[in-house]
Amino acid sequence: MARPAGAHPEIGEFPIETGTCELEPDPYNPNGWVLRINGVPSSHIDLVDPLRLDFEYMRWIASLVDSRWAAPDRLRALHLGGGACSLARRFTASHPQSRQVVVELDGRLADLVRQWFELPRAPLMRIRVGEARAVTESLSEDSRDLVIRDVFAGSTTPVSLTTREFTRAVRRLLAPDGVYIVNCGDRPDLAMARREAATIGAEFAHTAIIADPAMLKGRRLGNVIIAGSDAPLGADPGLARELLGGGTPAQLWQDARVRTFAAGAQILAD
């Protein structure tokens, strides 16, 4: 298939406001591109197929969202952390009536990804340049169905985006059945994942965790997806089956197991 006419990727390293970004072709996919930010893989985009997500944790998030909102339900989504806007682009394809805002701290990076990739335009998707917490606190109550936090400074999420106060600000934005999903990068001791699960569990009635078994057994560094909602999460048996069938099989923990995992962990606070 031909490359989209509006897409103009460039191989190389480029200065941005927060350091450098590097765009390189995917050696295994002629339509794929990998975006690195300050040397760390940040995003993958398939120019032809927006439904394709190469990063496992993004597939887990998409599966969780799809289990709550069937296509083509309209989503009001806020993405904290932009990168190449892979998930927002995916949800525009799977839920085409959605309205999404992507918050990106780095204005130069936002300009580049708009230039390189054929991203959806407003009102389907807008990129808002700003700091994630400040933008979140400026938005109206009950204005979002979904908030996804995927923000990293190096290998860690800024502390200000993990606290109970920030989580409370997110909850204020959400509809009664809305979902908050965070990508928690953690070490084998899982100390941060426990604290984040405890913090999210303190604000939401229901929680869930998705991660691969090796990560949950404390055998490696990696990503733990933690979700919170005031409506039940993860009860669909089809979701658990789908997660087990991926390239990297993942486990789904529902609320009771998440709360056992987080028991005794100190809630994060400003």
Structural domains in the chain, CATH included, are 50-262 (3.40.50.150)
Q: Is the pTM of this model over 0.85?
A: yes
Give the pLDDT of residue 248.
85
* Average pLDDT for runs of 10 along the chain of length 270: 66 96 96 95 95 96 95 92 96 96 97 94 95 97 98 91 98 97 96 98 98 93 96 92 88 97 97
pLDDT tens readout for residues 34-46: 999 999 999 999 9
Provide the mean pLDDT of the chain. 94
| pLDDT at residue 2, as a whole number | 47
**pLDDT score at 4:** 57
Q: How would DSSP label each residue in 191-218?
A: HHHHHHHHHHHHH-SEEEEEE-HHHHTT
Q: Give the three-state DSSP class for 12.
A: strand
**With contact defined as beta carbons under 8 Å apart, do 35 and 42 qualify?**
yes
Q: What pLDDT is attached to residue 6? A: 63
State how far the Cα of 37 lies from the Cα of 109, in Å rounded to an integer: 9
Tokens of 164: 């109970």
Say how far apart CA 189 and CA 157 lie, in whole Å: 17
